[in-house]
């Protein structure tokens, strides 16, 4: 491992995609992947154990904690560590939420490899990376006073969004309560609020919606 190279950590529960990104990054003469994991809890444990990469590339849909929660916890450990989100989810819906969580950029997985590398370099330079389309969209929103209507899913709080993802991954309310260290009453309140905000008629409708939403990144 060369100290002169930018050290990259990958957090993505798709092993093949993660390994593909590692191969791409390792082809760069000044970058190397020093750690890979498919789980947010493991990623945080490795950072607590002393791992200190220069940048973290992270998906937003992980097996336990969502990428958004991991980003927040990561910054509590190492405040200056930049995070670049790499996801299949629609940038138009997820990018702002990722930035609010503390990420420094957002790249969709279908982009060419050179775009990913360029995004890494942009974030390492201290800048925020978004696609030109998303950048223009945000500027337009500011210029027009947020005239463009937001998707309903953007009305969810971070906690509600986390619960929605876990419902979509097949977890029961009791399992979610255990995973998030919250009471079952709190989780049920989140479920009710999600249904209300997304105009879902009942629990079965919520489960169908959550499963479809989560599967977009699988």
Share of the chain above pLDDT 70, in %: 89
Dist CA 202 CA 169 (whole Å) = 18
Query: 165-194, pLDDT tens digit by residue?
Result: 889 888 899 998 888 778 999 999 999 999
Tell whether 210 is covered by a domain. Answer: yes
How buried is residue 57: exposed, middle or buried, by Cβ count under 10 Å (0-12/13-18/19+)? buried
Q: Domains in the chain: how many in total? A: 2
CATH number for the domain spanning 106: value is 3.40.50.2300
1 within some domain? no
Query: Higher pLDDT residue, 21 or 218?
Result: 21
Full DSSP string of 13-31: S-HHHHHHHHHHHHTSTTE
Mean model confidence pLDDT for the chain: 86
Helix (H) or strand (E) holding 152: none
Residues 25 and 48 in one domain: yes
Sheet of 105-108: strand order equals 31-37, 6-11, 55-58, 83-87, 105-108
Which DSSP helix (H) or strand (E) runs through 198?
Answer: none
pLDDT tens per residue across span 76-86: 889 899 999 99
Give the contacts of 197 (CB within 8 A, at least 6 positions apart). Answer: 152, 155, 156, 160
Exposed e or buried b for every residue in 67-88, given b needs 16+ CB within 10 A?
bbbbbebbbeeeeebbbbbbbb
Whether residue 188 sits in one domain with residue 92: no
Distance separating alpha carbons of residues 42 and 36, to the nearest angstrom: 10
76 and 130 in a single domain? The answer is yes
pLDDT per residue over 94-147, tens digit each? Answer: 788 888 888 999 998 889 999 999 999 999 999 999 988 887 776 666 666 655
Give the domain extent around 29. 6-142
Q: Could you tell me the pLDDT band of residue 217, with boundaries at 50, 70 and 90?
A: very low
pLDDT digits (tens, 9 = 90+) for 6-30: 999 999 988 999 999 999 999 999 9
Residue 116 lies in a domain: yes
Q: Name the pTM for this structure.
A: 0.73
């Amino acid at each position: 491992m060369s100290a002169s190279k930018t050290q990259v950590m990958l957090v993505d529960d798709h092993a093949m995609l993660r390994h593909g990104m590692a191969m791409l990054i390792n082809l760069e003469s000044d970058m190397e992947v020093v750690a890979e994991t498919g789980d947010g809890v493991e990623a945080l444990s490795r950072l607590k154990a002393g791992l200190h990469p220069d940048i973290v590339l992270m998906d937003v849909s992980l097996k336990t904690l969502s990428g958004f929660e991991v980003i927040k916890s990561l910054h509590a450990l190492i405040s200056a560590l930049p995070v670049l989100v790499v996801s299949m989810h629609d940038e138009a819906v997820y990018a702002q939420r990722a930035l609010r969580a503390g990420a420094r950029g957002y790249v969709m997985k279908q982009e060419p490899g050179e775009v990913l590398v360029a995004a890494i370099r942009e974030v390492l330079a201290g800048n925020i990376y978004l696609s030109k389309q998303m950048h223009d969209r945000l500027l337009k929103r500011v210029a027009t006073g947020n005239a463009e209507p937001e998707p309903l899913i953007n009305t969810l709080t971070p906690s509600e969004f986390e619960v929605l993802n876990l419902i979509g991954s097949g977890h029961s309310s009791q399992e979610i309560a255990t995973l998030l260290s919250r009471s079952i009453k709190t989780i049920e309140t989140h479920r009710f609020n999600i249904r209300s905000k997304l105009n879902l008629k009942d629990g079965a409708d919520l489960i169908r919606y959550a499963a479809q939403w989560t599967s977009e990144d699988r």
